[in-house]
Amino acid sequence: MVFQQHALAPRLTACANVLVGALGWIALWRATLWHWPARGVAAAEDCLALAGLGQRRADSLSGGQRQHVAIAQALAQHAQV
């Protein structure tokens, strides 16, 4: 189940919100400096492309598009289904 009003950071882009979901496997200094590994950014962009979203800010997304970001976040984390 994915909530329609998923807790996204409104000032961040959809890609940045997907990357924030990867904080469990990224070094703290990288997250603090917003220095994400290239493979992480590529994976987030691929997952967003699968969800049909681009580089838009989270506060401009509809409820359904927020759900798509949440799904992309789960896909980028390689979550077990």
pTM above 0.85, yes or no: no
Distance CA 7, CA 58 (A): 10
Per-residue pLDDT tens digits for 3-61: 666 678 888 888 888 888 777 777 777 777 878 888 888 888 888 888 778 778 888 88
Instruction: Compute how many other C-beta atoms are within 10 angstroms of the C-beta atom of residue 3.
Output: 10
**Which residues, at least 6 apart from 58, have a Cβ–Cβ distance to it below 8 Å?**
8, 9, 10, 11, 12, 13, 14, 17, 66, 69
Query: In the beta sheet, which residues pair with residue 13?
Result: 57
